[in-house]
Amino acid sequence: MREIIFDTETTGFSPDNGDRMVEIGCVEMIDRVLTGQSFHAYYNPQRTMPAAAEQVHGLSDIFLSDKPLFADGAEELLAFLQDSPLVAHNAPFDFGFINAELSRAGHDIISMDRMVDTIVLAKKKHPGAKMSLDALCTRYGIDRSHRIKHGALLDAELLAQLYIELLGGRQIGLGLNPEITDCDAANDAGQARKISKPTGNIMPIRPFNINAEEEEAHKAFIAKIENAIWHKF
């Protein structure tokens, strides 16, 4: 299953009040394994950057002045996202900005049905705990020493590690049932995932027949073992 973990940086908190998205970072995950494929872009917001926002992500008016408009890069972003579920931390915030930019550029907005919010997962697993990305990375021992300021691609990479941990770690979904539902918490966050049994040709169990010489050699070897547990039964 293909999923996109993403993060955005903006000029403020509300697209309804004129704030704009200035950066997006996305990483691709298939069957909960990062593929190394990513998408990263900066956008000229066509407005000044508030000092408070610049202190968070370090993106200045001068830096963004020669970056493309979102409308000019929207098709490339949509091609990367495809129709995959989209995972974000406090996802309604990021969805709000992406959809505002898409609508402004004349594109269809992204359905909220595709949204997976890692804060919802974290609240179910750790009620009452701090829900920031920093706090949760610390809880799970995820290294963020290289994170000096917020950056969309870096935060998406950290979030991908956190997402795996919130869903049970690398061994999530192990089981012997032919078909199982993966993680009730993911369902609560807006995503249902099924793990199906492998398809293709399955080799039959091979009988291991030994000849008389091999059997005698085995008996001779066993006889040399002192205090063997099978002699007690």
Annotate 23-71 with DSSP letters as a single string. Answer: EEEEEEEETTEEEEEEEEEE---SSPPPHHHHHHH---HHHHTTSPPHH
Residues 6+ apart with CB under 8 A from 201: none
* Residue corresponding to tokens 């992500």: 57
Give the whole-angstrom CA distance, residue 96 versus residue 138: 27
Q: At CA 82, angle to CA 166 and CA 36, rounded to 5?
A: 55
Q: How many Cα atoms are found within 13 Å in the side-chain-facing hemisphere of 62?
A: 1
Q: Tell me if 155 is assigned to a ligand binding site.
A: yes
Report the catalytic residues.
Answer: 150
Give the whole-angstrom CA distance, residue 153 versus residue 191: 23
CA-nearest of 168, 101, 157, 109 to 133 is 157
Q: Tell me if 9 is assigned to a ligand binding site.
A: yes
Q: What are φ and ψ of residue 210, in 5° steps?
A: -110, 150
Q: Tell me if 57 is assigned to a ligand binding site.
A: yes
* Residue corresponding to tokens 């290289």: 146
DSSP state of 2: E
Q: Tell me if 108 is assigned to a ligand binding site.
A: no
Binding site listing for substrate = 7, 9, 57, 155
Binding site listing = 7, 9, 57, 155
Binding site listing for a divalent metal cation = 7, 9, 155
